[in-house]
């Protein structure tokens, strides 16, 4: 798989439209599923994923992606566009409630507002980007509901290695949260981190 991706990336940089099509077909369904799960809007999810791939084509000559990084790059680009959509469009409350739904049963009657949730998502994205490559990939796959077994198979590593990386990623993110937020906020934020990780 990595050898194929290496070849695709190389050809893509040279403007090979066929390589671009193969890359699109390989990751389209996965990225669309991620976008739709967060947006619950088929057309908008399709638009966001298409915009990400258009950006890849427009910047193809400057791409410095490696096979291990390409899936993360595409996933992060999709998530950032989703966050920007909610922020820039000031989506109505009933739509934002869908984004907040997975938090409500745990953080009911808390002081968290949609803007606070989006701030957390952006902060977490920044911190996740700082994780080592393997740890970052494992964390992102787990946050998108892949099982330990699926992650291990996809990355060709032992299941225990997956668990170790998830544990270390959780510790690092909690330390980052503790430094940025107050003790009172931290307890609630840890709950949200768990929700974001386990869906």
The CA-atom distances, in angstroms, between 47 and each of 12, 14, 79, 81, 126 are 22, 26, 13, 10, 24
Please answer whether residues 139 and 127 qualify as being in contact, where contact means their C-beta atoms are separated by less than 8 angstroms. Answer: no
Rounded CA gap, 41 and 86, in Å? 13
For domain 1-68, the CATH architecture is: Orthogonal Bundle (1.10)
- pLDDT, tens digit, for every residue of 138-151? 888 887 667 888 88
Whole-prediction pTM: 0.46
- pLDDT, tens digit, for every residue of 7-49? 777 788 888 888 888 888 888 888 998 888 877 788 888 989 9
In 10 A of CB 152, how many CB atoms?
Answer: 19
Domain boundaries, the chain: 1-68, 91-199
- pLDDT, tens digit, for every residue of 73-119? 888 888 888 877 766 554 444 444 554 454 444 444 444 444 555 56
């Amino acid at each position: 798989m990595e050898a194929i991706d290496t070849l695709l990336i190389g050809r893509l940089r040279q403007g090979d439209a066929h390589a671009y099509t193969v890359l699109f077909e390989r990751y389209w369904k996965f990225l669309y599923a991620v976008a739709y799960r967060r947006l619950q809007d088929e057309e908008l999810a399709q638009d966001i994923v298409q915009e990400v791939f258009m950006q890849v084509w427009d910047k193809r000559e400057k791409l410095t992606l490696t096979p291990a990084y390409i899936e993360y790059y595409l996933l992060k680009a999709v998530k950032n566009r989703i966050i920007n959509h909610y922020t820039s469009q000031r989506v109505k409350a009933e739509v934002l409630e869908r984004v907040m739904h997975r938090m409500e049963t745990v953080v009911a009657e808390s002081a968290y507002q949609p803007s606070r949730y989006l701030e957390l998502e952006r902060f977490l994205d920044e911190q996740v980007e700082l994780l080592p490559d393997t740890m970052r990939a494992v964390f992102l796959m787990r946050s998108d509901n892949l099982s330990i077994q699926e992650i291990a198979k996809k990355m060709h590593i032992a299941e225990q290695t997956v668990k170790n990386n998830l544990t270390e990623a959780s510790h690092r993110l909690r330390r980052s949260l503790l430094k940025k937020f107050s003790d009172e906020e931290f307890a609630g934020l840890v709950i949200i981190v768990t929700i974001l990780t386990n869906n």
